Amino acid sequence: MWSAPPGPDAHRSPEFLTLASVTIAPLPSGLRVRTRAVDHPGRLLDLLPDDRNPLCWVRESDGLVGWGEVARFTVTGPDRFVEADAWWREFADRLDVRDEIGLPGTGAVAFASFTFSPRSAGSVLVVPRVVVGRRDGQAWITEFAAGEGPSAVRSVSPVRASGPLRYSDGRLPVERYRSAVAEAVRRMRAGELDKAALAHDLLAVGEEPLDPRFLLGGLARRYPTCWSFAVDGLVGATPELLLRRAGDQVSSRVLAGTIWPGERAEADLGGTLLGSAKDRREHDLAVDSLAEALSPLCASLDVPEVPAILSLHNVSHLASDVHGRLDPKAPASLLQLAEAVHPTAAVGGTPRKAALELIDELERMDRGRYAGPVGWVDADGDGELGIALRCAQLEGRTARLFAGCGIVADSRPDTEVREAAAKLVAVREALEAAEPVR
């Protein structure tokens, strides 16, 4: 179905949708794409114009930022990854591309954000008019142009601080979240399933429309080793890389098992986390689920036997970096890989079907794109997708914040509530800052 691009509220869905749907923005004719080298552009986030929906995927000094919109693809349903992959391949094949760099992320690029559940509306690919990128000291700009016309270049206005904020319950308040965790633990102890990742939300409302660049910049400065992202109003900084594809190489960073300052008395939080049977079991379930999903698509897969510690500003996680080589006979694209692995046990649970049914029953809210894949894909099928964690969906004056925890039979409801609050600190601190972070 061909139609005009959806409006800003297109991803909202008070009730889960049950039928697949697709919306494709009209494709301009005669599109040309050029990628060329540029001098050091400075901090990538500083290039973003005052746009309601900036596009970003940045870690430390490298990444991609984009603005303007050439095309958009939105989809709902269980085949959303397959349909998005098919649309992107067809779109990219019709372009006249001149790529003078030839790195992953050059040439035509689409920013991607998918819903956690196939029944939620809002999975989207956005092709920006302008992309500026940097990788390993090499910087470039990619510009779309129709015919001989110039691409859209915008002036950058000052970033606006959030100002005073008031908080209110989201669709799943803390007390209901505590009860949901208790019920999940009861069922796990009864042997119904091994793990489920439950989440709740929180609303922050400002006096004026919130500037996504303010939240994005604050998160990027506080969490430079995370992947800071912004796609279609979803803004965050995730520590968890779902997938990276570069040629025949694929990798993933799995996180599960969390500790935070004040949660336990020991000074050695990392040692405590590694020694926790509960956290190690939660982590093993997440790693095993990823490896099981990736193995059929890989010629080889390297899975570490012992996790490492990832220490962040607000929490520490057990982390395992998984690396593989794709099947050379039929190398899967990034979006095909995403279809195979999402949701992992880190954000879904084990067994997957039972965990997802429990999440629907106990949360009784639409997560939207929280805990779904987010990132970018290029015309070769390479790219990076993180899991949309430590994030908020921005709508005018309102930010909807999310946080979740992996629940196993040994989980304690009060502890999980405190863990979720510790994870919310990332977005809350960035939103509440008095001045833009530079």
What is the pLDDT at residue 40?
86
Q: How far apart are CA 121 and CA 114, in angstroms?
A: 9
Domain with CATH 3.60.120.10 in the chain: 165-226+244-432
Going by pLDDT thresholds of 50, 70 and 90, the confidence category of residue 265 is very low
Classify domain 165-226+244-432 at the CATH class level: alpha beta
Q: How far apart are CA 438 and CA 432, in angstroms?
A: 15
234 forms bridges with which residues in the sheet?
A: 231, 393
pLDDT in tens, 126-149: 999 999 999 999 999 999 985 444
pLDDT in tens, 407-427: 999 999 999 999 999 999 999
pTM for the model: 0.90
pLDDT in tens, 82-92: 999 999 999 99
Query: Which residues are the active-site residues?
Result: 195, 240
229 forms bridges with which residues in the sheet?
A: 57, 236
What is the pLDDT averaged over residues 152-164? 80
pLDDT in tens, 216-237: 999 999 999 999 999 999 999 9
What is the pLDDT at residue 172?
96
Share of the chain above pLDDT 90, in %: 78
What is the pLDDT averaged over residues 44-65? 93
DSSP 40-80: ----GGGG--S-SS-EEEEETTEEEEEES-SEEEEEESTTH
What is the pLDDT at residue 436?
62
CB 226 within 8 A of CB 237: yes
Dihedral of the alpha carbons of 82, 379, 244, 123, in degrees to the nearest 10: -40
What is the pLDDT at residue 149?
43
How does strand 383-387 pair with strand 241-246? antiparallel
What is the pLDDT averaged over residues 57-71? 95
